[in-house]
Amino acid sequence: MDWTDEAIVLAARGHGEAALLVVLLTCDHGRHVGFVRGGQGKRALYQPGNRVRASWRARLAEHLGHYDCEPVASVAAGLLDDPLRLAGLSAACAVAEAALPEREPHSDIFAGMAALIDGFAGPYWAQAYVRWELGVLAGLGFGLDLTSCAATGRNDDLAYVSPRSGRAVSLSAGEAYRDRLLRLPGFLAGRGRTDPEGADAEVVEGLALTGYFLERHVLGPAGHAMPAARTRFVDRFERSATISGSS
């Protein structure tokens, strides 16, 4: 049994004296785990977020199998001077590892993550991160409906999301229940703010929105907690937004 596929490194953990247990998100084979013999001597290649071309081989399909990987793009190294973006990359890898079922193909989520990795070089990477988590929810069958108001059917002035249905709610229809609704950030409703302080605040709202539904529909039912790397990213982003807003 063997295959070769494009892949993104999600995690790598030591196994024995020299091997690594590597978790990849592959284009056509989903989240997939395998051994890398002598991998601890190639730690730089297996940093989370790096792009590789992976060849997997096992005697039987159900076996863990072994990887042989060739580098495609060293993404993590390019973000070492930007701790916030690096934290975002680590969070995305941790969420993918925790949320995706093993060996279940999700080429759409892979493509979204590849686009997110490219987006870390641009100014709107944080908004792209929120959109990627929405894509994960959609790819797993829990997509949110942010196109029109659940109460009125109209698509103007959308401001909230129902925590029960995952549908958008307009400002007027949701005002009386706003304490029980989740905020819908403007950039997800087609009216994002351009000032840095406002844009960061909207990202914080977006992370709260996607985090709620990831925990409710994906992580919680599987008995998983929110990955620590994502929690650290959210904390770091909130601190960064506070500092930026107070300057």
Question: Confidence band (pLDDT; 50, 70, 90) for 16?
Answer: confident
85 and 53 fall within a common domain: no
Which residue segment(s) compose the domain that 85 sits in? Answer: 79-146+184-246
Question: What dihedral angle (degrees, nearest 10) is formed by the CA atoms of 119, 103, 51, 219?
Answer: 40
Answer whether residue 179 is part of any domain. no
117 and 6 fall within a common domain: no
56 and 112 fall within a common domain: no
27 and 54 fall within a common domain: yes
Residue-wise pLDDT for 65-94, tens only, equals 999 999 999 999 999 999 999 999 999 999
Residue-wise pLDDT for 201-213, tens only, equals 999 999 999 999 9
User: How much is the mean pLDDT over the chain?
Assistant: 93
199 and 87 fall within a common domain: yes
The total domain count for the chain is 2
Judged against a pLDDT cut of 90, whether residue 191 lies above it is answered with no
Answer whether residue 196 is part of any domain. yes
Judged against a pLDDT cut of 50, whether residue 247 lies above it is answered with no
Question: What dihedral angle (degrees, nearest 10) is formed by the CA atoms of 44, 91, 80, 77?
Answer: 30
70 and 84 fall within a common domain: no
Residue-wise pLDDT for 220-230, tens only, equals 999 999 999 99
Percent above pLDDT 70 for the chain: 98
Answer whether residue 151 is part of any domain. no
Answer whether residue 156 is part of any domain. no
CATH number at residue 43: 2.40.50.140
Q: For position 2, what pLDDT does the model report? A: 92
CATH number at residue 133: 1.20.1440
Residue-wise pLDDT for 43-68, tens only, equals 899 999 999 999 999 988 888 899 99
